[in-house]
Amino acid sequence: MTLRRAVRTAVAAALIAVTAAGTATAGTQISGSVDIRCAAGTLHQDASWYLPDGKPTAMVWIQHGFARSNAQIGALAASFADAGYLVFAPSLPFMQLQGCTLQNLGDNNAFLHNVAELFGTATDPAGALAAGLAAAARRSGVPVPELPSDLVFLGHSAGAEAVTFVADRIRSTHPETFTGLRGVILLDPVKSFIGDNIARALTGLDPTGLPILTISAAPALCNSFGIGTTAVQSLRRPFVGIRLRGGVHTDAEGASSDPLGTLFCGTPTAANAATLSTLALGWTGDFLSGATGSTEPRARALLTGGVAADLLPGS
């Protein structure tokens, strides 16, 4: 085992032992579960929903990273709910003997196909996604919201690879759902050591013109020294995002990070967490309004305003 793999294993083991509650305060958060097929069985995964006031503008899936849970992206999820979005934030396994894992530790493709089915069957009231939301709402005593047809995916760390793979799977198996997928935002993406899921998914998505942007930190151990960001830069586009010069891997977690996350992957500053949230919210609005030509100027405006970051070009 290489030193990098040994350290990564130690990080995962430590983070498995301890998790912390999120600190989201905006919007209405309700908790429940979502059923996802796993080999011959079904996993009942914890899931949080963040409900906006009034009718949601779109549904946003925010996926946590390796050895983390949905608690760690609570602050970011709450900011999206406060902006009018219905947020789906599931906890997905990262250590599971049948390959039903967030990150590819052998072959998790079949499991991610099943995750894609959640969105492909979202309009079916009996589908797992709608059923999970309805059960959580009833348990919390709030009205059951309708799932919007417009979607935006955000993934942090290994969750970035997962949402990219799922987006590409939806493209090939649920074209009617794919028309409602308005964009993907990858937050310091990490590529699995095994396989090439993110590269293959990006290759499949690139010709569609689907907006795919990244907000990355400087190369470091927790982001596998930037190889996920390098994969995003293979897109045949002039602009694919920004890299925060003083950023750390936990910037996406912000106030919802925990002591072990900050110990191993750095402590996010309030300024960097705010920059990430502001830019992700702005880009999401651009995706939904069709103003995708505004995504690069929006990033440049932040740099002009004093944010220490660099623009990331594609190939």
State pLDDT tens for residues 171-190. Answer: 999 999 999 999 999 999 99
Q: How confident is the model at residue 105 (pLDDT cuts 50, 70, 90)?
A: confident
**Cβ contact 309:302 at 8 Å:** yes
Does the pLDDT value for residue 8 go beyond 90?
no
Identity of residue 94:
F
| Token pair of 16 as six digits | 């498995």
- H helix runs in the chain, sequence order: 3-17, 74-82, 109-120, 128-140, 158-173, 175-178, 197-205, 227-232, 259-265, 270-289, 295-304
| CA–CA gap between residue 119 and residue 177 (Å, rounded) | 7
Write down the pTM of the prediction: 0.92
Does the pLDDT value for residue 35 go beyond 60?
yes
| CA–CA gap between residue 145 and residue 196 (Å, rounded) | 37
| CA–CA gap between residue 135 and residue 118 (Å, rounded) | 15
Structural domains in the chain?
A: 24-312 (3.40.50.1820)
Q: How confident is the model at residue 195 (pLDDT cuts 50, 70, 90)?
A: confident
For a pLDDT cut of 90, what percent of the chain falls above it? 85
Identity of residue 275:
T
Identity of residue 286:
D
| CA–CA gap between residue 193 and residue 9 (Å, rounded) | 12
